[in-house]
Amino acid sequence: MQRVYTDSDPLIVGHLAEVLRGRGIVCMVRNYYLGGGVGDLPPTEVWPQLWVERDEDEAVARRLIDEVLSNHDSDGPAWVCPGCGERVEGQFAACWRCGSPAP
């Protein structure tokens, strides 16, 4: 077994696991529910981890993961909130401060 990815966000790890499974790669997510251990354990040690069962799938899995993560096209230009004047990163559809929608 080989660990191919880890992240603090379990949704990203779960999504990547489904992408790999969809391509026929047998994988598993470890530490999915271990986040409650932060404080007693180092934070990066409790992050969800994506593992592939067969060592020979590691290279293909890493390539697919890189492809999925690099193809996100959600980052648009930053914008200024019309409600409160806060500068908001382009991937957000609403202001994090006041909730106003992006112009």
Element containing residue 19 per DSSP (H, E):
helix 10-22
Output the pLDDT for position 72: 59
What are the chain's domains?
2-70 (3.30.70), 74-103 (no CATH)
- Which two structure tokens, joined as six digits, stand for 80? 């200024």
Q: Identify the pLDDT of residue 55.
A: 96
Q: Which helix (H) or strand (E) holds 49?
A: strand 49-52
Could you read off the pLDDT of 28-83 as tens digits, one per residue?
999 887 766 667 777 778 899 999 999 999 999 999 999 888 865 556 788 999 99
Tell me the two tokens of residue 53.
């069962």
What is residue 38's predicted lDDT score, i.e. its pLDDT?
66
pLDDT of residue 24: 96
Q: What is the C-alpha separation between 26 and 4, in angstroms, rounded?
A: 12
Query: What is the chain's alpha carbon radius of gyration, rounded to the nearest angstrom?
Result: 18
Q: What is the pLDDT of residue 19?
A: 95
